[in-house]
Structure 1
C-alpha cells in the first residue's frame, strides 16, 4: 500500500519547488504542482504490488486536477474516492458555502480488495419460518430518481394481503418490473423484448414469485385508503399520506405521474425488503464492503434507506485533532495540517494485510508510521513502513529539515513512549533506520561512498534491517542459511587473512563477500580453501538506483 498526503497547492506556502515556496501569484503554480507530482507518481506506479493500492489525500479545490493526473498515470485503475469531513464549522460565510470535507482518491491494481468486515451472523434471522433458513433484509431501493430509472418506478403489491407499497420517487427500486416495462412501451413487442433481454438481474415479479421479497406485517388499522383524488391530495398536503418510516419524507406527492393510481388502493406502512439468505452467499463473499463516506467518531450515519445494508463505515476525528496529537508528542505546532491518527488507522486496517509494506513519500509529521505501529500492536501484524520526506529547506530557511526534526523525531518518541503512552519494542516493530539520500556519480562511487553507507544499503537490501557495524576491514552484513554476507571496502593481505579464518571462527560453511575487486579476492580465497562467492560492490550499490543497472 502507498498512502500520500501531498501539498495541496493552495499558494499559502504549503510546498517548496526548486528551493522556494510557490505562491498564489505564480502563474505556473498549477503546472509546476502537476509536474512535481507526476514524476513521483510514475515511480510509485512501478512500486505497487499486483494486489496493491495507492491512496491520495487531496482537498476539494485540487481534486479534479489530481484525478486527471492519476487517470493518466494509473489508466483504468480508479476504484473511487472516500469523502472525509474535516471540520464541523464553515469557513466562507460571505457566500454561505462551507468547505468542510476532503477526499482520499483510491487507485488500485486488479488484485486489490479492501478487507471489508465479516458479515454479522446475528443479523440473519428467520421471522417467517423460511424453509431456506436464516436471512437478512436488504434494501430494495437504489440511489436513482424516477426520471433516471423509469423502469424501476412502479408500485409493489403483496400478493397475499393485496396491500400496496409506493415507490420513493427520489430512490427507486433496485429491480425493474416486467409489468412496468410492458405498460411504458405500450405493446411494442420488439422494444419490450429488447428491454427484458437487457436486464442484468431478476425482475421484481420473479423475486416475488421466488418468495425473496419480505413484506413487513401490519395491522389493518394502519393501512391507508383514499377514496377520491381530493382525499388523497388533502392527505398529502396535510402530511397524512404514506411516508418513509425513518426519514418521514412523503412517498406520494401531487406532481407524480401515477397519482391517480393510488385512489382506492389499500396502502400499507413500512417498506418491503429483499431476502438475502445466509447460505446463498459463498463464505469468501460474506464480507461487508467499505463505504465511501468517512464518518466522525461519534457521528450517527444516516443510510439512504430505512434498512441497514451491510457496509463498513470508516471513522475519523476531525482535522484539528491531529494538530493536538502532534503537539502532545513534539510540543508546539511542529507541522501544519497533519492528518489524524484515526484516519490513517482506518485506511491501513482496510487496505493492508498483516505483513504488508506501507510507503508514504510525503510523510510529513509521520502519522502513517505511528498509525501502522498502533495497528500492528492491536492485531499482531508485522507491517513495515517506509517514510520519505524532503527537508523543505528553502532560501528563507536553509537549515530546515522536516524529515529529521519532525518525522523521525516523532517516530523516536512514539517508539520510546511519551506522556504515559507505552512505546513499542523491537519485536513489535519499534525500530527504524533514519537515512539521508545523497547523489554520487557512478564513476566516483567507490571513491566517495563511505563504509557505513555501503553497509547500510547492503543491509537494507539483503537483510531488510540495519545492524550496528562491527567496524574493521571486514564488516558483517547478515547471515543467510549456512553462509555469512560480508563487506570489504578494500582488499589487502590482512583482509584475506581475516576472511580465511572467518568460517571457522563464526561457524559457517561459506562466505558471500562484496568488494571492489571480486575476481582477485575469489582467487585469493580459493587458494586458502575457502568456499566463497565474491560480488562487485559497485554493481550491488548501483542495482535498483536511478540510472543504475537492475
Structure 2
C-alpha cells in the first residue's frame, strides 16, 4: 500500500478498513477521505463572538445571524443546540459549474471531473452536522434542482439513514421558453424532506362543509362518499358482486375498474371463485341465501344504515337477454364514466335479466365524530399561486390540502423591493419557505438556515410570527463569500443581516408588524491547546446562554461574575470568586441554578452549603463540541 496511505498509522488504517466493511454495497459512492473528514470535525475549537454594532435592536436577542463558514457555525451549533432545532431549511448551491458557489476560496470548474465528489462531500459534512441538531420531532427541508436531485437524495440517505419522508415538487415558473437539446423547459424543482421519528406536518384544517346531513339518533353530522375501492375485478375478485337494497328490491352492478369493498373482513374464508355458477349478491337476496357465507359485513352496514342507497334515480328492468344486450350496445346501462358496469362478456350476464337495476350509486356514510384527525395531510405538490384554480375539488381531494407558493419571480421582486436593486441572485420566494415552515413548526421552535443567502427564511419566520403571534426563533448562517478578486465582499453583513435590519425598520404597510431583534455573531477558530488563553469570557458566555436556551446578552467584562435570570433557569458565569456571589445565590434559593467557572474546584468548596450545580466552563464546552 502506497501513496495517500503512507502517512497513516496502523490504528488509522484499521479504523479506515472497519469503516469500509460497514459501508453498504448498494448506494452512492464519491471521492472522500474519511479520516481527513473525521479529523476536520475536531481539528480546532469554534467560538462565536457577538458583534454589537452589527446586531439589531437592544439585547436580549432571541435570533441569531452568524457570519462564517457554515461548517464552523454548524460545529458551534452542535455544541450548543444539539437535538433542539425544530426545522432546518436550506437552499444549497446547485453545483451547475457556472460559478454558483465558492469552496476553499476558488470557484468550481464545470469541467472538473471531481466536481460532483467535491460538491457531495462539501454537503455531506454539513448535513451530517445538521442531523445532530434536529429534535426528535424536527425536519430538514433541502431545495434542489432536477439535475442534481438524484445525487443529493442518495447522499442524504447516507447522511440521514432511515429519515427520508418524502419530496415536495415546486413549480418554479410557468411558460419557460429556454430549453435543452431535447426541447424541454425545466419549470420545477424539488424539496427533499428528512425528519426525526416524531415529526409530522401540521396539515390543513379539514373543511366540514360537506357534512350537511344530520343523524338524530347518533346526534352527529355526516356526509356521503364513495364506497368503492381502487382495485379492478382481477385484483379484488371478492369485490365483484351485485350490491342489493332489500328495501326497494334493487340491484347495483359493480364497476369492473373500481369494485365494491370486500363483503368480509380480512382473514375471513371467502373466495368468489368458489362459486363459479353463482353471481354473488350482498346482502344476500332470496335466491342466494344459504348459498353464500353468512354474516357478511355488507349486510351489517346496510342494517346500521352505513350504506345509503339512492332515493331519486333511474331504475330499469330488462325482461329478456336480448333487450339487455341492446341496452349494452347502446351504452344504456349503468356506467362509470365510459366504463359499462354491465357488458356482453360479463360473468353471469343473465343474472341481470328480470331484476330491478339501479343506475345510481350506493354511498358510504361518514360521521364527523369518527374522523381520526382534525387535519388532513399535506400534498407533495406545491401549487403556484397563479394556478390555484386548477386544484381538484372532489370528494377525496380538498383544494386546501396543498402548499401554495409564488414563483422565482416573487423572490426577485421581494429583493428589489427591500434593497432597491438586485442584491442577490436566484432567491426563493418567501411564500414557499413560509408555507413549509408553517407546516413544519408550531408557534414556537428554532428555524435554522445554514445557507441563508438573502435571508428569505428569516423573513418567512417573521411573517409567520406577525400573522399568528408566534414565538419562532431563527438562526441564519451565511459566509462573506469573499474571494481573491473581491476580498472586501461580505454577503452575510450586507445582504443576509441587512435584509432583516431593513424589515425591522420598514414603514411599508406590506411589512407591517415584522420584527426580529437579532445578535450578529462571527465564528472564530481556536486551537485546542490555546483554548485556556484564547477563549474570551464573552464568547464562552454566548455559548452557555445558547446551551441553556436563553436569549443572548452582552457580557460585562468588568464584572467578576455575570448572571442571566429567566423564569425557568438562572445562569451564572464566574470569572473570579467574589464573596458577594455566595450571599446572592443564597438569596435566590431556587432550582435550576447553574454556575460555571474556569476553576470550579475552589468555587465548589466555597459554595458547599448552597444547592446549585457547579460546572467547568472549559470541560462543558469541549465535551459538547467533541460529542
- Asked if Structure 1 and Structure 2 have the same fold, meaning a TM-score greater than 0.5 normalized by the shorter chain, the answer is yes
Counterpart selection for 1:275 from 365, 368, 378? 365
- TM-score, with length taken from structure 2: 0.68
1:109 aligns with 2:196: yes
Which residues of 2 match residues 121-200 of structure 1 at below 5 A? 121-126=208-213, 133-140=220-227, 149=235, 151=237, 154=240, 157=243, 159=245, 160=248, 162=250, 164=252, 167=255, 169=257, 172=258, 175-176=261-262, 182-183=271-272
Which residues of 2 match residues 477-488 of structure 1 at below 5 A? 477-479=563-565, 485-487=571-573
C-alpha separation between the residues in 2 aligned to 1:530 and 1:110? 40
Counterpart selection for 2:376 from 288, 292, 298? 288
Shift of 1:144: 6.6
Q: Is the 8 A contact 1:140 1:173 kept in 2?
A: no
Aligned to 1:48: 134
Q: Is the 8 A contact 1:19 1:395 kept in 2?
A: yes
C-alpha separation between the residues in 1 aligned to 2:153 and 2:297? 37
Q: Judging changes above 3 Å, is the alpha-carbon distance between structure 1 residues 266 and 311 closer, same or farther for their aligned structure 2 residues? A: farther
Shift of 1:538: 2.6
1:464 aligns with 2:550: yes
C-alpha separation between the residues in 2 aligned to 1:484 and 1:48? 25
Counterpart selection for 2:444 from 355, 373, 385? 355
1:118 aligns with 2:212: no
More strand by share: 2
Which residues of 2 match residues 530-541 of structure 1 at below 5 A? 535-541=615-621
1:410 aligns with 2:504: no
Shift of 1:315: 0.9
C-alpha separation between the residues in 2 aligned to 1:22 and 1:176? 60
1:385 aligns with 2:474: yes
1:2 aligns with 2:88: yes
Q: Judging changes above 3 Å, is the alpha-carbon distance between structure 1 residues 292 and 165 closer, same or farther for their aligned structure 2 residues? A: farther
List runs of 5+ in structure 1 lacking aligned partners: 189-201
1:542 aligns with 2:625: no
C-alpha separation between the residues in 2 aligned to 1:108 and 1:101? 23
Shift of 1:145: 7.1
**Cα root mean square deviation, aligned:** 4.3
Which residues of 2 match residues 221-236 of structure 1 at below 5 A? 227=323, 232=328
C-alpha separation between the residues in 2 aligned to 1:267 and 1:331? 70
SS at match of 1:392: coil
List runs of 5+ in structure 2 lacking aligned partners: 1-86, 265-269, 278-295
Which residues of 2 match residues 392-407 of structure 1 at below 5 A? 392-407=481-496
Which residues of 2 match residues 338-353 of structure 1 at below 5 A? 338-353=427-442
Q: Judging changes above 3 Å, is the alpha-carbon distance between structure 1 residues 203 and 88 closer, same or farther for their aligned structure 2 residues? A: farther
C-alpha separation between the residues in 2 aligned to 1:290 and 1:123? 20
Higher RCO, 1 or 2 (CA under 8 Å, sep at least 6)?
A: 2
C-alpha separation between the residues in 1 aligned to 2:619 and 2:106? 36
Aligned to 2:53: none
Q: Is the 8 A contact 1:293 1:314 kept in 2?
A: yes
Equivalent residue pairs, number: 508
C-alpha separation between the residues in 2 aligned to 1:78 and 1:380? 31
Counterpart selection for 1:373 from 459, 462, 474? 462
Shift of 1:101: 1.6
